[in-house]
């Protein structure tokens, strides 16, 4: 589910950026119309200056938001590829019959041995695996839509 979720995020970023770009264009048109209104004497210089500064501030704010969303989108895409790396490691060892050093190094983060001889194995990718299991559980619990 990681890939579809990432795709949804990318789409969401694209939709937000498109909406912001549309708002930027709308404010630029309003700013242009404002100048025409000033030239035609519909508004005075003080009103023109106030409105122009207001529109320019809004345009700048929207442009900054677009930049921020682009950075977030790039970060989300990079995080998505990192999140899939663990799946490849697990897939590589899916039919293991015997534990060896190579598998141990790939899948185990650390082994803790306590004074009472209790042994705890801390696996790599445990958080990612737990998230995947939660997604799988939610997917399993989700009823299928009626067909036809």
pLDDT tens per residue across all 148 residues of the chain: 444 555 555 568 888 999 999 999 999 999 999 999 999 999 999 999 999 999 999 999 999 999 998 888 877 776 666 666 767 776 777 787 888 888 888 888 899 999 999 999 888 878 877 777 776 676 555 454 444 4
Q: Answer whether 42's CB lies under 8 Å from 33's CB.
A: no
- Cα-based distances in Å from 112 to 90, 95, 106, 119, 128: 22, 26, 17, 6, 21
Beta strands in 41-132 (DSSP E): 108-113, 119-123
pLDDT at 119: 93
pLDDT at 148: 45
Q: Answer whether 119's CB lies under 8 Å from 111's CB.
A: yes
Domain ranges of the chain: 1-92, 95-148
pLDDT at 91: 73
Residue 98 DSSP class? S
pLDDT at 79: 64
pLDDT at 74: 79
Looking at the chain, how many residues does it have? 148
**Residue carrying the six token digits 């409105």:** 51
pLDDT at 125: 79
pTM for this model (two decimals): 0.50
């Amino acid at each position: 589910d990681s890939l579809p979720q990432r795709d949804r995020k990318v789409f969401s970023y694209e939709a937000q950026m498109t909406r912001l770009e549309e708002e930027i264009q709308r404010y630029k048109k309003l700013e242009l119309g404002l100048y025409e209104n000033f030239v035609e004497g519909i508004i005075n210089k003080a009103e023109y200056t106030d409105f122009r500064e207001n529109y320019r501030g809004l345009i700048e704010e929207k442009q900054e938001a677009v930049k921020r969303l682009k950075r977030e989108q790039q970060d989300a895409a990079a995080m998505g590829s990192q999140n899939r790396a663990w799946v490849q490691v697990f897939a590589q060892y899916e039919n293991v019959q015997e534990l060896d050093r190579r598998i141990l190094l790939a899948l185990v983060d650390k082994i803790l041995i306590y004074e009472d001889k209790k042994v705890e194995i801390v696996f790599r990718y445990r958080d990612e695996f737990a998230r995947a299991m939660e997604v799988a559980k939610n997917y399993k619990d989700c009823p299928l839509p009626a067909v036809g």
